[in-house]
């Protein structure tokens, strides 16, 4: 073999050896791009108002002390069980996570949309401890004296 062929073979061997790390860099870069694309973006409102289903066991809210029930949350797609609008324009709303649930959440708010029973709404706000549903809230008599969790509303989605 002459010197030119030996030099060519040696350079090809060295060149092919340097391709492997270069390919790994490309693979690592593409993996990083894929991982970045797969990351779920968390909006500021989601972090400020976490879903109550992820924070608390809402099937048994009686287990929580009233002192614990003070936190920012989102009641996503809860059912309107009952509501009443008073003379001042405030609407008392009784909510439940499921249509058949007997765990209630109660709030009082000025609404800019009309609502109806069994409609699903999302509320972002602040849990304000336990309460009892009273006659003066003007809900149906079957809800009177039932336990509920009070909610202070920041935002409602219909």
Mean pLDDT of 129-147: 95
* Residue range 66-107, pLDDT digits in tens: 888 999 999 999 999 999 999 999 999 999 999 999 999 999
For the chain, what's the residue count? 158
pLDDT at 123 over 90: yes
Q: Which residue has the higher pLDDT, 15 or 122?
A: 122
Mean pLDDT of 32-40: 57
Q: What is the pLDDT of residue 36?
A: 55
Geometric angle at alpha carbon 122, from 136 and 71, rounded to 5°: 75
Q: What is the pLDDT of residue 70?
A: 92
By C-alpha distance, which of 56, 142, 157 is closest to 94?
142
By C-alpha distance, which of 130, 157, 158 is closest to 49?
157
The model's pTM: 0.70
């Amino acid at each position: 073999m002459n010197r030119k062929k030996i030099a060519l073979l040696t350079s090809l061997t060295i060149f092919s050896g340097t391709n492997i790390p270069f390919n790994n860099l490309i693979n690592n870069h593409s993996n990083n791009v894929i991982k970045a694309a797969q990351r779920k973006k968390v909006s500021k409102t989601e972090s400020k108002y976490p879903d109550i289903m992820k924070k608390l066991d809402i099937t048994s809210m009686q287990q929580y002390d009233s002192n614990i029930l003070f936190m920012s949350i989102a009641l996503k797609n809860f059912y309107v069980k009952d509501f009443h609008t008073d003379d001042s324009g405030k609407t008392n709303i009784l909510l439940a996570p499921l249509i058949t649930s007997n765990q209630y959440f109660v709030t009082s708010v000025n609404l800019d949309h009309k609502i109806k029973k069994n409609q699903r709404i999302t509320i972002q706000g602040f849990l304000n401890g336990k309460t009892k549903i009273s006659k003066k809230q003007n809900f149906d008599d079957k809800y009177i004296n039932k336990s509920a969790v009070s909610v202070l509303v920041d935002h409602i989605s219909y």
